[in-house]
Structure 1
Amino acid sequence: MRQRLTSRLGRRIAQPLALTTVAAVALAACSTGGKADSGSDTAADDGKNGGTAAIVVTPGADSEKVPVGRKVTVRAQGGSLTSVEVSSPGPGRLSGTWSKDKSVWTSTTPLAPGATYTVRAKGETSGGSALDKTGAFTTEAAKNTFVGEYYPDKGAKVGVAMPVSITFNKPVQDKAAVERKLKVTASPAVEGAWSWMKDRDGKDRIDYRPQKYWKTGTAVTLRMDLAGVDAGGGVYGTQQRVVNFTIGDAVTSTVDTKKKTISVAKNGKTLRTLKVSTGKEGFETWNGTMVVLSKVPSIRMTSSSVGIFGPEAYDLGAVKWDVQLTPSGTYAHAAPWNEGKFGVVNGSHGCIGMSTSDAKWFYDQVHLGDPVTVVNSVDTVATNNGYGDWNVGWETWKQGSSLD
């Protein structure tokens, strides 16, 4: 029967990451004010002006949280600058202008809130000696922030059909700005793409999937550089995440609603073909590919949890060996009440029923991220009903990206 859990299984909320200063160096104040700083730098004794030449940065690392309206100034005392880079992983690199003599660099890009910026500057004295400066500062946090609920978890081993999925707790108006700061890499490399959608709760969600299923043994890394990124409307990101996971064996299952069977293969070799029952008329099992979301050894199944009342109402009590395929309540599970009807009658409200022994065997074979494809049914499962990503053609999927 289709069931719905009261909470999203297999996911966790990614909590905001506390940003700290990097290489806590004190940065010297220039003539515009601020706190003095020795910093991580190289200075030189300049004989022409009788003092020590140095690169001075404002604001400094020992400053309080820096207001976003403030400009960053890098000044070469007793010399000139050759390069300046001020950047943060989320918002990226600041642009700036130079004084005519290249002794001063001033930022022109606004600072992002809740971000840690690293400053790297090089220069030389009037006598030709090298100058070098590295430091960091952190800006004031934004009052309105967003975070992404991401899956899979760090360190997980998942099936070959598992996409990378991020659901945001605030509306994302500037999807391109957010998508640019999300990156997935894989070894071996794959062709993959992000695609935006609305979650079942109406929240903005973005999934990444390869063109074809992942290969067994692939190492995947998700990077979220969202700290200080403006999602539009003054809502700023807070997350810096690196999430690594791996791809396990290729366990694929095919359910044929006409034959009333499920065939299970592992790494291309068929293990078993089992007799099943699927959804009856009016409650047909979703067609297309679904992805295993969770497994529980026992769960109470009631029709009221999926909005079925009246003559079709049911309360099955504790049902064993439950493999969840959609948040809307599609499971593969033991259905001992249908004993003798497997392979003969489709009589469920959408779930895939098996004998208790077969359900236990299936439960032991599959894992999070494994695909279960249903054929010869009706109504293809929606993309956002779990991970229906694989039911979208590749060219159409790529059009869901906000980037050119």
Structure 2
Amino acid sequence: MADNGITIETASPIAESGSLAALFRAMNPTEWRTFRACAGGWGLDGMDFMLYPLIIGTIMHQWAVAPGPAGFAATLTLLASAIGGWLAGYVSDRIGRVRVLQITILWFSLFSLLSAFVQNFDQLIICRALLGFGFGGEWAAGAILMGETIRPQFRGRAVGSVQSAWAVGWGIAVLAQAIIFSILPPAIAWRAMFAVGALPALLVLYLRRNVAEPAISVAARRTGTPGILTIFGRETIMITLLGSLLSTGAQGGYYAITFWLPTFLKVDRHLSVVGSTGYLAILIAGSFIGYLAGAWLSDRLGRRKVFLIFSAGAIVTILAYTQLTILNDAMLVLGFPLGFFASGYFSAMGPFLTELFPTRLRGSGQGFTYNFGRGLGALFPALIGYLTQSIGYGNAIAIFAVAAYALFFLAAFALPETRGRVLTA
């Protein structure tokens, strides 16, 4: 069947029970093992990435780094992750999802640890850029692995629930910051934070013993592997282009908000590192609930409706958070819906991109579209950093976030619904 000129595989009926509880009751041992591994990997991936935004204020002060170069370091990490994610997706079509997942986790764990021992900001930029290759590759391999292992009627909830682990990892990073900065001087504390980022390497031991390659992936590789540019062929180029725009809006908006928000709270709202912890905790709680709600709604309403609802909600809440003159207590409460709408749609991204591409192109297609968006979205932290010097953090964040979510909304409107699609080799 075709929709908007895009070929769609035959869809299966959605399970009658659309609850998250039904998902956890119904998963078989193979699905459970894969779920635990991917949730752990994504959560620790989120922890590693969020370490830098949390401690950037300390590094800027210690090494006299301006906001522009500080944002550029994050941008470079995300650009590297875009390249790493595309390559990891392509390689996973050739050597398997599980093997690529193991390699990428070890990679970003190593460079997080090395970041703890750098002697200047230039060295830190290099380490964070190299970390980005593994950071991007982990999502590409893990999302595809989950999408191909979980049955169609549960795919949205399962992959979306794994996405919620990002909020858990973010919360661990904030908790680590509060504890470490309370017991160590700032000049040492930020190094200890990066050292904590080496913990994901332990997950590889679990992967090697418990997670098997999806049978559909093995079968597809037996038929041969296409070239890296095949996703731009006549049959899939519209999927590739629209999926890339969708990802650009989704990730550009998210990075515009989350990277500079801790600094916004300190500079514009005059909160200390410890004082801002409660605000970030409310934001993270909203993010976590948003991920779970997005997971449930993506199977209940469909992927596209989730994108449309959450992108509109994100525009409204970020404008209120950054543009309204409100007391800190009101801002504390407003952090929950901001985290909810600015994060929850990611629960539908993984299953949606998995379902858009045929199995033989899934790694390359999903890896490219998601990470193309990550690459363009990566420009936002640097651009915001430079723009803040003239218009302030709140205004700069609002401009880029609203533009990104508007693009996200329009791309989602143009793409077809994929809920319940059966994946074939």
> What TM bracket, shorter-length normalisation?
under 0.3
Which structure has more helix as a fraction of its residues? 2
Normalised to the residue count of structure 2, the TM-score between the two structures is 0.19
When Rg is computed on C-alpha atoms for both structures, the one with the higher figure is 1
Normalised to the residue count of structure 1, the TM-score between the two structures is 0.20
Structure of higher RCO (CA pairs closer than 8 Å, 6+ residues apart)? 2
